[in-house]
Structure 1
Amino acid sequence: MPSPDYAALDTELRSLLGLQTAPIAITFSDQAPPDTAPYDAPMPSPTPDGRTGRVPAGCVFWTHATERTFITVAADHGNCSVGSVTHGFKTLEDVGGNADVAALLESGWVTMDIMPTLPMVQQRPNFITYGPLPETPSDPDVILLRLNARQAMVLSDALPELRFEGKPQCHIIPMAKEGQEVAVSVGCMLSRVRTGMSNNEMTGAIPGPRLAEVIDKLKTASAADNLVAAYASEDKQRFDV
């Protein structure tokens, strides 16, 4: 079966939701895709517990992936213990003694009983590829969206089963990959600070195999929303005199 036309799907998705930020494709794999460069920013000196990485946290790759396609490996994600766990690179036992985990627990931001319940990628990947959806070198596992409140509303109208999640923001990636669930995260302070994400934004994750289905449902929901908007606008004019 030929791969979908991801450029066309990207255009439809942007139009239906009115996206201001390009959707990105995220793919977990054993083999590196050909002709795709690794993310090659320098790594800073490690912390006393040994943490370092190409970026402060894996969610930072989302911001760079709107502009180009690149490959990452486990070490590139290593500065953020939580993200390393949700993305399948490390286990809870691997990170339990790390200073960033201790800081989150001591602050009360998260409790130890929550950690084992986090969605996680089940099979350790050798590579994760990030990039603009139209450029994806293979069928993506997850499509990540940057959303505002209105866009999340339209997605919710289209998908009554839509999951709304909180911290950590990155756990919507394994929810989409492993559970084939469409999920929105209101974000988390850890990710907002590290990525510089706007206070007006949240994120959404669509399972790659469900993208065409989600777009079809968005078409139906958007048509209904447009009819309601026209009615509400006309009705409102009685109060504008």
Structure 2
Amino acid sequence: MRPRTIALLIHFPSQQPPRARPEPAYVHKETGRIRPINLDRTDISCARRCWEAGWHQPHSTRGVQIKMESQAAYADLAADLKALLELDQEPVGIAFVKERPQGTDIFEGQVPSSCSFWREAERGVFYAPAEKHFNCAVGAMTMGFNIEPFKQTLMTTVQMMCDCGYIGGGEPEKIPTVKAGHSGIVYGPLKDFPIQADLALLWVKPRQGMLLNEASGGADWSRGSPLPVLGRPACTALPLALAQAQAMLSLGCLGMRTFTEIGSDRMLAVLPGAQLQEIVARLRATVEANRTMAEVYNASKAAFAGTPA
């Protein structure tokens, strides 16, 4: 029998869509702390005083070290997420950056996939340039890196996936990718994250995922259809969470489970960094509401104890 050949058409846009600019801020030239600009920017005398005091305005706050108050806030948010969801693994922060933040170590090793970095990030903060992601062509594409260095590998991988029936021929061109114009990614424990996090990643069990889904509005029937739980490839949850500014849950994929060695009882939760405080606040209310409903359900269950089915 002749091998089946599938023609694949994959569109990779040459230009990234514009990304919303962060709020302007002054960054201290020595400490790296950020001070939001909440003054009349036409007031030259005030701007001059800020400059003379060491506060300079960058073109963007992305990739610069955030002030200690915000770092402490990340530590608090990570602690809240662990406590409310009863997590036994550290939430991980991710930031897509145009250059390595000062003082952040470069990842020196090699990993087989982009998702492998999610587990490495539990151990400490580091910067992984684009080429460190190229060992997994699909993951590197999904993370939004220029595909030219690994285009042939990508095409070969996709063809193999189609030939064995793992994916359909029309799927590759529909796979979402990160649109950030970045050169690398900063990974690390959320509690220690040194810059503005674009995303937070959590390993959750189904019950924990249920609470997150409710807290983030994913189970809200008034919005039309509740958000779906994603599947392969697992890394697509990252660009979708960014693009839709919405928490995402993913059952993962075989690659994710192989490379991360995460337990079969876990799924991936991806939270937009800009909404972490709001999600945690809603999560508190969701946990309390579920406690109330647990009392109701347990009382109802007890009322039928000993009653023949």
TM-score range, shorter chain: 0.7 to 0.9
Give SS of 1:131's match: strand
Q: 2 CA distance for matches of 1:232 and 1:93?
A: 56
Is contact 2:241-2:271 (8 Å) kept?
A: yes
For residues 122-172 of structure 1, the C-alpha deviation after alignment (integer angstroms, 9 at most, x for no partner) is 233112010000111111000011011000111122233344111100011
Partner of 1:233: 298
Moved more, 8-17 or 103-112: 103-112
Q: Please report the RMSD computed on the Cα atoms of aligned residues, expressed in angstroms.
A: 1.9
Partner of 1:175: 240
Is contact 1:85-1:92 (8 Å) kept?
A: no
Distance 1:109 1:97, change over 3 A: same
Give SS of 1:165's match: coil
Unaligned segments of structure 1, at least 5 residues: 42-53
Q: 2 CA distance for matches of 1:92 and 1:230?
A: 57
Displacement after TM superposition at 1:178 (Å): 2.6
Displacement after TM superposition at 1:110 (Å): 1.2
What are the equivalent positions in structure 2 for 1:1-241 lying under 5 Å apart? 1=36, 4=70, 5-41=73-109, 54-91=110-147, 95=151, 98=154, 99-161=156-218, 162-240=227-305
Distance 1:189 1:92, change over 3 A: farther
Displacement after TM superposition at 1:219 (Å): 1.2
Q: TM-score, with normalisation over the residues of structure 2?
A: 0.69
Displacement after TM superposition at 1:177 (Å): 2.0
Q: TM-score, with normalisation over the residues of structure 1?
A: 0.88
Partner of 1:51: none
The one-letter code sitting in structure 1 at the alignment partner of 2:215 is A
Unaligned segments of structure 2, at least 5 residues: 1-35, 37-66, 219-226
Give SS of 2:104's match: coil
For residues 51-74 of structure 1, the C-alpha deviation after alignment (integer angstroms, 9 at most, x for no partner) is xxx211010111111121111011
Displacement after TM superposition at 1:97 (Å): 5.0
Q: 1 CA distance for matches of 2:149 and 2:163?
A: 18
The structure with more radius of gyration: 2
The one-letter code sitting in structure 1 at the alignment partner of 2:211 is V
For residues 207-229 of structure 1, the C-alpha deviation after alignment (integer angstroms, 9 at most, x for no partner) is 10011111111111111001111
Sequence identity (%): 29
Distance 1:65 1:94, change over 3 A: closer
Is contact 2:96-2:180 (8 Å) kept?
A: no
Displacement after TM superposition at 1:237 (Å): 3.0
Give SS of 1:191's match: helix
Give SS of 1:199's match: coil
For residues 189-221 of structure 1, the C-alpha deviation after alignment (integer angstroms, 9 at most, x for no partner) is 121112212110110111100111111111111
